[in-house]
Structure 1
Amino acid sequence: MKKIVIVGGGISGLTSGIFAQKYGFESIVLEKNSVAGGECTGWDRQGSHIDGCVHWLTGTKKDTELYDLWCEVGALDGIDIINLDYYYMFEYDGKKICFYNDYNKLREELLSVSAEDSELIDEFISACKAVESIEMPTSKPMDMMSIIDMMKLGKKMMSGFGAMKKYSAVSCKEFAERFKSPILQKVFRSFMPDNYSISQVMFSYATIVSGNGGIPVGGSKAMAMRMADKYKSLGGQLRLNTSVDEIIIKDGKAVGVKLQNGDIIDADYVISACDANVTLQKLLRGKYVDKQLQPYYDDLENNPLQSNVLVAFAVDGDVSNLPISFIFDSEKYEIAGKTEDRVGMRVYSYDKSLVKNGKTTITSYISQNTQQFDYWKKLYENKEAYKAEKTRIAEEILKRILKHFPELEGRIKIIDVATPATYERYCGAYKGSWMSFMSTPKSKQSQGHNGKIDGIDNFQISGQWIYSPGGLPCAVATGKFAVQRICKAEKIKL
């Protein structure tokens, strides 16, 4: 029985482990943390639970390839899915605008703000409907598809590809500024940073409207734990608190790994499912250049990274009057060298399993770029200053939430703050990013990595970093693809 060692126990690593067991390999998943799941995680603070990942999950619609894959790995099998009524609610200049998860209701809502923008509103909705046809292929990697497979895929998604190509060349700022209404301009600049492509907003919104972007009951950590249980039930070995120091290469072939404690684990194949930069620079000692990924690392201005500061609060009692996903304008405040003038809130009242001890968690995310990561990384060297700055920011956000919702006075408290440095420290996330390279009008076009690193045989790299647009769907897909490629090499029929 051939043996596969998998580095990283996140969604991609667990998926590789599950398929390795299904296809008759012996496998070991090595995870440096005390819990599996990687960035698909949540944690408890002061009697409350903080969900650190899923705001919506692509692949929750039945009878889609991705949904079937999520069920196969144990993530969604038998799990209820929550579909919210709206994507986001905004309040600017005293006017509330709800991005309903219904195209007709959205159109009415936006027209009520600015009828003179009807043409652009209809253009946005039409584009969203077109990109609904785009589904991530998960049956096999594209490098293993036949010409017929490729033709079927292209035919199925033709209209969506056309819209994605057109709007990938348009930034969020550029699209927003086409609106005559100053309020709609603010709304469309609130989804993502100005330089990101508006196509990403369209795709995310369309995914949710189509019913393919729901939320699994129990949240992110519970989903990861179900996958870990699935892997172990198939006979896989999940070793937690186990840091890998190096992937061992002999005569151009991966033959095992060396652990931080010096132990060696031999393998016939190695899959690295952790952060791609950690794989290349640490585990492979910077000796190999990944020609498929390097152009992205070399041009972070046009292939930017998304990180954030997360501030978490716990609220006692009834929160039914609070919107679930809400962005509102606020007094200006400074964070990591930038001035912000809005606050975003996520209220976890929609999932009763996450309401603990009568307390509902609220999180606020403040988007951060790579320069801001550098700020947090340096500040972390002075632990007292780092802690003080986290407290200051949390208090600034709390002050603005209380001004907007004074009824929360005396019922809400700060329970945690995470920064880009937190994501790097716990997850190895490059530049603290919780997503892969994001799309801008000047981005290198969509990556379709084949999982190989030039100069290394019997080795696969997987995870969200190697497959656009990143995130959990790309992690689960590439985890499966890595094992399928090994099966091809071993002439195992799939």
Structure 2
Amino acid sequence: MNNLVIVGGGISGLSAGILAQEQGYKTLILEKNQMVGGECTGWNRQGYHIDNCIHWLVGCNKENPLHQLWSELGVLTADVDLYYEPAFYTLQAEGRTLTFARDLEKSRAELLSVAPEDAREINAFFDSVRQLECIQPPCETSVAHMNVFQFLKMAMGMRGGSRAYQTYGSLTIAELVERFNNPLIRRMMGAFFPKDFLAITLLTSYAFYSSGSAGIPQGGSVGMVRRMLERYQSLGGSVECNADVTAAKVDARRLCGVQLKDARTITGEAFVWAADPYQLFYKILSETYLDRNLRTMYEHPEGYVANTGYQAAFGVLGEDDLHLPKGSVVFSCEPYTVAGESKDLCGIRLYDYDKTLFPADKRVIQCNVLLNNSSFAYWSSLSKTTYEEEKRALAETLRQRIESRFPAVRGRLVLLNTYSPLTFARWCRAYQGAYMSFNALKGYKPLYVKSTVPGLRNLFLASQWVQTGGGLPLAAASGKFAVQELMKRCPPPTASGRHR
């Protein structure tokens, strides 16, 4: 019998599997889909590759504590090349171009030349981004399980960013915009994230770029997952795909087994739930097992919003240089509507940086229209026919906006795929179709969820949903946190594992 069963083969599940195998556990990962990876995935269409996940991976610089975890998981090894985009993002509006480049001083000078009247706020912004370069997602110990000394140690390690948090920590993006007078600078500050997001999200994201922490590993999302799977299997771990968990058996404060869609029951001495936790607590177990912080976030959607959106991917015909901007670009355009929301900006990203995925004649442009989780109800209300028509009509609208802004691609864009919140709900049963966990809005504090499950001694959580912010680093770290708690309650059967 496997002494540890892991439900979910995404980044959290693979991380938990690798680290548990290192400690001497015999593990089995159950994955509902035909392949592991969860939302960190990609797929091929018409000879082109669509990378669904990695926009940037935090922890690519060796000085970052996350780098050690990524290395142990097989993601960042000596033979893996890294690509560093030249900028966090570029804005094209009002006939001008502004860039949040990796070089902070270059961008500072650019914005000052455009808006000398905003010099004080521009300098404060860039000074704060520099200060926030010390901020790192926790990867040693879960904040939810820290004692006061561990918390103080973490806080001291990031004290360089305290002034920036004092200045921007309670501001929304909309309020940040109001600090500037120049219309183009205002547009720049408000173009990337929704207006109700906290401004600190923009500054810390930019700081990941300027610090050299944010890069893209060779092979993209599928390459990252492949290396993790190889690492896991090399340690003796097992995977069963097309293994959809639909029920669970609880006895005497212990989870005894999980039942699959094909009616089989998989037993184990301990379990890690590394799939979306909403499914676990609202469909399989009971709300009585919910961590109170996770319950708070589910019950207050007005303050804790999940990241979701509509996306369209286009193949670029031909291999000649079309002089398209590199990386993420946001440009002003004729207004359009998505799920009832009016938009006058279009965001695109050119995928051409990895020749193993995007050779010169198979470049891809992706559009990602950010939406909040309330849009899930809109997409769910559509009939199947209307849903498909809506997705394609919106893709055509975006294609027209792209061709209008970049005439060189006119007639050379091939629609490859469209996907919505329903796509993520179907693929991963993601809560509200989200691809990242909750963001805490103004007036709502960040919350941290324990890796243990109240009332069940042998069930543990590993998921990006255990903390506001989410993303790949937290998904990987949550696997580590789950194994740390597992070892306390359910020690490995032998002492042969390498303890961390």
CA root-mean-square deviation:
1.7
Separation in 2, partners of 1:144, 1:306: 26
CA distance in 2, matches of 1:423, 1:491: 35
Tell whether the 8 Å contact from 1:319 to 1:360 is kept in structure 2 after alignment.
no
Aligned to 2:456: 456
Q: What's the TM-score, normalizing by structure 1?
A: 0.96
> Is residue 365 of structure 2 the alignment partner of residue 362 of structure 1?
yes
Q: Is the 8 A contact 1:9 1:31 kept in 2?
A: yes
Give the alignment partner of residue 349 of structure 2, picking from 346, 354, 365.
Answer: 346
Please tell me whether the aligned partners of residues 308 and 421 of structure 2 are also in contact (alpha carbons under 8 angstroms): yes
Deviations 1:194-252 (A, max 9, x none): 11000001110001110001111111111011111111111111111110012321111
State the AA in 2 paired with 1:452. T
Pair 409,263 (structure 1): closer, same or farther in 2 beyond 3 Å: same
Contact 2:291 2:450 in 1 (8 A): no
Q: Distance in 2 between matches of 1:140 and 1:297?
A: 24
Between the aligned partners of 1:398 and 1:463, the Cα distance in structure 2 is: 35
Where does residue 67 of structure 2 map in the other structure?
Answer: 67
Q: In the TM superposition, what is the alpha-carbon distance from 1:164 to its structure 2 partner?
A: 2.9
Task: Report what 2:261 is aligned to.
Answer: 260
Q: Is the aligned partner of 1:246 residue 2:237?
A: no
Could you list the per-position Cα deviations for residues 119-162 of structure 1 after superposition, in whole angstroms to 9, with x for gaps in the alignment? 10111111111221122232333466566544432222112244
- Once residues 439 and 141 of structure 2 are traced to their aligned partners in structure 1, the CA distance between those partners, rounded to angstroms, is 24
Matched, 1:48 2:48: yes
Counterpart for residue 217 of structure 1: 218
Give the distance between the partners of 1:257 and 1:248, measured in 2 at CA: 6
User: Equivalent residue of 1:214, what SS?
Assistant: strand
Cα shift readout 1:377-412 (whole Å, capped 9, x = no counterpart) = 121xx2211111111001000011111111212221
Counterpart position of 1:57: 57
Structure 1 Cα separation of the partners of residues 64 and 332 of structure 2: 38
User: For residues 42-61 of structure 1, what are the alpha-carbon distances to aligned partners after superposition, in whole Å with 9 as ceiling and x for unaligned?
Assistant: 11111100010111111111
8 Å Cα contact 2:452-2:485 kept in structure 1: no
Q: Which residue of 2 aligns with 1:24?
A: 24
**In the TM superposition, what whole-angstrom CA distance separates every residue of 1:268-296 from its partner, at most 9, and x where no partner exists?**
11110111211211221444332121111
Contact 1:49 1:356 in 2 (8 A): no
Q: In structure 2, the residue corresponding to 1:132 is in which secondary structure?
A: helix
SS state at 2:367 partner: strand
Tell me what 1:280 maps to.
Answer: 281
Q: Counterpart of 1:191 in structure 2: which amino acid?
A: F
Structure 1 130/375 Cα, relative in aligned 2: closer, same or farther at 3 Å? same
d(CA) in 2 for partners of 1:280 and 1:48?
38
Counterpart of 1:318, as a letter, is D
Q: Verify the 8 A CA contact 2:452 2:482 in the aligned structure 1.
A: no
Contact 2:18 2:232 in 1 (8 A): yes
TM-score, normalised relative to structure 2? 0.95
Match of 1:407 in 2: 408
For residue 134 of structure 1, what is the aligned residue in structure 2?
135
Percent identity of equivalent pairs: 36
Contact 1:48 1:357 in 2 (8 A): no
2:323 is the alignment partner of 1:321: yes
Q: Following the alignment from structure 2 to structure 1, what is the Cα–Cα distance between the partners of residues 143 and 470?
A: 16
Equivalent residues, number:
491
- CA contact under 8 A between 2:192 and 2:330: conserved in structure 1? no
Compared CA separation, residues 172 and 319, structure 1 to 2 (3 A): farther
Q: Report the 3-state secondary structure (helix = DSSP H, G, I; strand = E; otherwise coil) of the residue aligned with 2:206.
A: helix
